[in-house]
Amino acid sequence: MSYLLHIDASSLGEASVSRQVAGSFRAAWQGPVVHRDLAASPVPHLSAAGITARMTDPAQHTPEQAAAARIQDELIAEFLRADAYLFTVPMYNLTMPSVFKAWLDQIMIEGRTLGFTQGAPTAGRPAVVISARGGGYGPGAPNEGRDHLIPTLETVLGWSHTLGLDVTSVIPELTMAPAVPAMAELVPLYEKSLATAHEQARQLAAILDRRAAELVGQVR
């Protein structure tokens, strides 16, 4: 079965702006969805057992290696079966939530998902990253150049030597403006950014829905 894989990394639940914008995407998406909420059910961080299991004959696995391999196998199978991807990854302390990094570390394995030697099996599949942040990090903003999340994700998810996805980012900014008095004058910019993000999410859902269907048709 083909589906949209939605990986959610926000810790704020319904209060998360990233999740709210993702909700607009999901409302416009027509196909089936598999949703993995890493805040509610985090995957373990990569361990020595998880690393060595990749280089050891399964028949020779220790109990710890076997357990680690089962987690990786489940996550990788779920990732590879998807035709499109939605990643809800807010900025925490200038970069990604640790739960999302843990998920990446579990699935990124040469010969299975990475494209260093033979090309990524997911190359060209469409993906959307939704990433809210409390301030502004775009050109001309005081925090310009300090976004260590979107450039990293677009490389990790989209580089041909890694997962090779066709990544589009949706970035609602200034989300702290309504709550921080010193940012009060930025509330109109926040509201505009949020409205734009919701509209982008809805439009991208329709586009990705069509693209995913086309990819499935090509495979058939």
| SS3 labels along the chain | CCCEEEEECCCCHHHCHHHHHHHHHHHHCCCCEEEEECCCCCCCCCCHHHHHHCCCCHHHCCHHHHHHHHHHHHHHHHHHHCCEEEEECCCECCECCHHHHHHHHHHCCECCCECCCCCCCCCCCEEEEECCCCCCCCCCCCCCCCCCCHHHHHHHHHCCCCCCCEEEEECCCCCCCCCCHHHHHHHHHHHHHHHHHHHHHHHHHHHHHHHHHHHHHHHC
Confirm or deny that 16 is annotated as ligand binding: yes
92 is in an annotated binding site: yes
Q: Is 91 annotated as a binding residue?
A: yes
Give residue 218's pLDDT: 60
Has domain 3-218 been given CATH number 3.40.50.12780? no
- Where do the structural domains in the chain lie, given as residue ranges? 3-218
18 belongs to an annotated ligand binding site: yes
Q: Is 17 known as a binding-site position? A: yes
Q: What is the pLDDT along the chain (220 residues), one digit of tens a residue?
A: 589 999 999 999 999 999 999 999 999 999 999 999 999 999 999 999 999 999 999 999 999 999 999 999 999 999 999 999 999 999 999 999 999 999 999 999 999 999 888 889 999 999 999 999 999 998 988 899 999 999 999 999 999 999 999 999 999 999 999 999 999 999 999 999 999 999 999 999 999 887 767 766 665 4
Is the Cβ–Cβ distance between 176 and 132 less than 8 Å? Answer: no
pLDDT (tens digit, 9 = 90+) per residue, 13-64?
999 999 999 999 999 999 999 999 999 999 999 999 999 999 999 999 999 9
10 is in an annotated binding site: yes
Angle between helix 17-28 and 187-219 (nearest 10): 40
Single pTM value for the model: 0.94
94 among the known binding-site residues? Answer: yes
